[in-house]
Chains A and B, each alone.
Chain A
Amino acid sequence: MRHIIAVLLENEAGALSRVAGLFSARGYNIESLTVAPTEDPTLSRMTLVTTGSDEIVEQIKKQLNKLIDVVKLFDLTEGAHIEREMMMIKVKARGEDREELKRLADIFRAKIIDVTDTSYVVELTGASRKLDAFVEAVPEGRIIEVVRSGPTGIARGEKGLTL
């Protein structure tokens, strides 16, 4: 099953490589990993997307907790949560395609943020599945480049992953 694990870790050099190294050393799957500082500059927040059986995911969480730099973690998929990923996609936009791609962007509530005579850059935010759907919907052979941030997430309701 797919799990989204949010991790608060010390904002120190090498903390990221400890997490990445743990996944490669123990052969765990890692679909994506994003990390950035929080409102507290001594803390970074990481969002990990991984897949595995319940036993493996349990081990992943234990092993992450064991890392000295990890302060706290939470498996967002255990409860109601919001998942968001950002994508910028550069597409060939010539002739009739220009209208078609504009319509597609509107349907997905995406924004066109760069326009040239021959191309658009489209920005789209949403759950990863929505981004996948947009990529699927772009007509064959029009995609020049896809940039995705990897998912981040937050639990619904008042409670938060804080110290």
Chain B
Amino acid sequence: MELSGGEIVVRALQDEGVELVFGYPGGAVLHIYDALFNQDKVRHILVRHEQGAAHAADGYARATGKCGVCLVTSGPGATNAVTGIATAYMDSIPMVILTGQVPTPVIGSDAFQEVDTVGITRPCVKHNFLVKDVRDLATVIRKAFYIATSGRPGPVVVDIPKDVTDPKVKIPYEYPRTLQMRSYNPVEKGHPGQIRRAVDALLAAKRPMVYTGGGVVLGEASAPLTELVRQIGFPITSTLMGLGAYPMSDRQFLGMLGMHGTYEANMAMHECDTLIAIGARFDDRVTGKIEQFCPHAKIIHLDVDPSSISKNVRVDIPIVGQVANVLEEMRRLIQDAGRTPDQAALADWWRQIEAWRGRRCLDYDRNSPRIKPQFAVETLYKVTNGELYLVSDVGQHQMFAAQFYPFDKPRRWINSGGLGTMGFGLPAAIGVQLAHPDATVACISGDASILMCIQELATCKQFALPIKVVLLNNGYMGMVRQWQEMFYEGRYSHSYVDALPDFVKLAESFGHVGMRVERPEDLEGAMREAFAMRDRLVFLDVIVDPTENVYPMIEAGKGHHEMYLSAERELA
């Protein structure tokens, strides 16, 4: 079979089993778009901005575990996608980004819509390629998917000059079945000796703690994690990225840890004597001050990426391997030997944890005449029976959602954790809704975040996506305002979003349904009405208390035991 470069791109996507491509056409990718036009196996979703394409592909990947794909043109097409690529990179999301490039003879001449895409994206991709010969195209695409989805996943950019996709140049096509890469061999199984050491340490613990991250979700390790943790009865916490991997409504789950983690989770981290970190990377928002991080604990770290180990925090027992394999192996070791943890010590530990839990650190004013953002998220949970795919933007609303919407399954909580990209929510929700057309998908956002990718409301209309946008509208960049209140003596420098649009009319102008709620007593009814509209995008503008802050809070550079709690703001 002889194909042109443009046809090879499309055919390779088909052979990879790609269902959806998020993209935006332009000069350098016109040959590829022409090849897309002549087939119907790969569905193209036209976004309204290339950043949206990258976030949508990212949302699709997070909701399914499959590789997200986007296709953009050279120059501004590629640079617009960079924020989305960096977002995926920071959260290790498998994505392949196909970018057009100016024809090879003019590369380096500052041609129209030319940028050094490989150079610009290098620090925010797992790998990237510039394809200079059409004969390399199929193999490079195969490699790109393999690299993106294996080991610690991540985005891979394939930069394709226009002449490489020339319809007049046809070559024999065969998609490589197998791939040999001498320089890339991701690990599978953990070292058996290390796993045994880790099990011994866990069973000897008096005050154990399990700390999980996004790697559990990415590594499809939710089931083995849940079985192991239930089997040994340990307390468990999770980072923002790992929420839902272990059922959050379970008693053993202490809530999220870190800067806005719960009192009980952070105190248990501070006091534990043995910590097992699973698919987590000791991010600064999690650890707080490194010198005060888990000061009494022997630390076991399980991760697929060797460079994550002992990067920020010195680890006593490292295990490099696929988390699902290693957790399964640990569970089997404990079960086969009929071993159990120190039950008396564990009971004491749980008594201490329950005392911390008794502080009810997430309490807020339920009698407020204004809608509290926490109340809005609780109502959302109630109305959707916890069965939501909840996609978040970045800011206070993101933290409130993480604290007040207990996810019991992985891949239900979708947000930009590492990069913290405002504008992520709406386009990512597009990817999630397309991945699960019959599921209920909501985007929780703020009045500042939503405006960063608001143009994607048009994409939602074009593809009839019934996403529910729940806007916690406080008129501020809430998280910025909170820091200015707490650390800058209330000098609210440029955090007030003056001149907000009328979001109801805005939604309507895009062909959607807009609703506004201002009183707490109207909220549940409005949400029920919105979610009952199964075939429409409903934009729910919820006017919330602008003075509400996210608590608990650990100030940057402080230890886990030094939390601000709500209301009385006492230092714990």
- A residues sitting closer than 8 Å to B (CB atoms) are 9-10, 13-14, 17-18, 21, 25, 55, 58-59, 62-63, 65-66, 68-71, 163
* Cβ contacts A to B, 17 pairs, < 8 Å: A9-B183, A14-B118, A17-B122, A18-B122, A21-B122, A25-B123, A55-B310, A59-B307, A59-B311, A62-B306, A62-B307, A63-B307, A65-B306, A65-B307, A66-B307, A68-B147, A163-B182
- The answer on a CB contact under 8 Å between A68 and B182 is no
A17 to B130, CA, bound (A): 14
CB < 8 Å neighbour of A71 from B183, B307, B310: B183
B488 to chain A, nearest CB (A): 28
Q: B512 — which chain A residues lie within 8 A by C-beta?
A: none
A124 to chain B, nearest CB (A): 36
A77 to chain B, nearest CB (A): 20
Is chain A's interface secondary structure helix, strand, loop, or mixed overall? Answer: helix
Nearest CB in chain A to that of B124: its residue: A25
Q: B182 — which chain A residues lie within 8 A by C-beta?
A: 71, 163
A83 to B262, CA, bound (A): 55
CB < 8 Å neighbour of B130 from A14, A59, A69, A70: A14
Q: A10 — which chain B residues lie within 8 A by C-beta?
A: 183
New A-B pairs, 20, CB < 8 Å, besides A55-B310, A58-B310, A66-B307: A10-B183, A13-B130, A14-B122, A14-B130, A17-B122, A18-B122, A25-B123, A59-B311, A62-B306, A62-B309, A63-B307, A65-B306, A65-B307, A66-B305, A68-B126, A68-B147, A68-B181, A69-B183, A70-B183, A163-B182
B571 to chain A, nearest CB (A): 32
A62 to B304, CA, bound (A): 13
Q: B306 — which chain A residues lie within 8 A by C-beta?
A: 62, 65-66
Q: A62 — which chain B residues lie within 8 A by C-beta?
A: 306-307, 309, 311
B157 to chain A, nearest CB (A): 12
Report the contact-size class of chain B (Cβ under 8 Å from the partner).
Answer: 10 to 19
Query: Interface readout for B124-137 with A: 1 if CB under 8 Å, 0 if not?
Result: 00110010000000
- The answer on a CB contact under 8 Å between B310 and A68 is no
Do A68 and B184 contact each other (CB < 8 Å), given the known contacts A14-B118, A21-B122, A25-B123?
yes
A68 to B314, CA, bound (A): 26
A62 to B187, CA, bound (A): 14
B119 close to A (CB within 8 Å) = yes
CB < 8 Å neighbour of B183 from A55, A58, A68: A68
Nearest CB in chain B to that of A68: its residue: B127
A58 to B183, CA, bound (A): 19
Question: Could you say which of B126, B127, B305, B307 has the most chain A C-beta atoms within 10 Å of its C-beta?
Answer: B307
B43 to chain A, nearest CB (A): 30
Query: Interface readout for B59-97 with A: 1 if CB under 8 Å, 0 if not?
Result: 000000000000000000000000000000000000000
A22 to chain B, nearest CB (A): 8
A101 to chain B, nearest CB (A): 44
Q: A25 — which chain B residues lie within 8 A by C-beta?
A: 123
Closest 8 CB pairs of A and B: A62-B307, A71-B183, A68-B127, A25-B123, A66-B307, A68-B184, A62-B306, A63-B307
Q: A21 — which chain B residues lie within 8 A by C-beta?
A: 122-123
B240 to chain A, nearest CB (A): 23
A55 to B122, CA, bound (A): 25
Nearest CB in chain B to that of A71: its residue: B183
A69 to B181, CA, bound (A): 10
A92 to B182, CA, bound (A): 51
Query: Interface readout for B296-321 with A: 1 if CB under 8 Å, 0 if not?
Result: 00000000011101110010000000
Q: B147 — which chain A residues lie within 8 A by C-beta?
A: 68
Q: A163 — which chain B residues lie within 8 A by C-beta?
A: 182
Residues of B182-224 contacting chain A, CB below 8 A:
182-184
B150 to chain A, nearest CB (A): 11
Q: A14 — which chain B residues lie within 8 A by C-beta?
A: 118, 122, 130
B108 to chain A, nearest CB (A): 12
Q: B119 — which chain A residues lie within 8 A by C-beta?
A: 17
Question: Could you say which of B126, B127, B182, B183 has the most chain A C-beta atoms within 10 Å of its C-beta?
Answer: B183
Q: A17 — which chain B residues lie within 8 A by C-beta?
A: 119, 122
Q: B305 — which chain A residues lie within 8 A by C-beta?
A: 66
A21 to B127, CA, bound (A): 13
B311 to chain A, nearest CB (A): 6
Q: B181 — which chain A residues lie within 8 A by C-beta?
A: 68
A100 to chain B, nearest CB (A): 49
A41 to chain B, nearest CB (A): 15
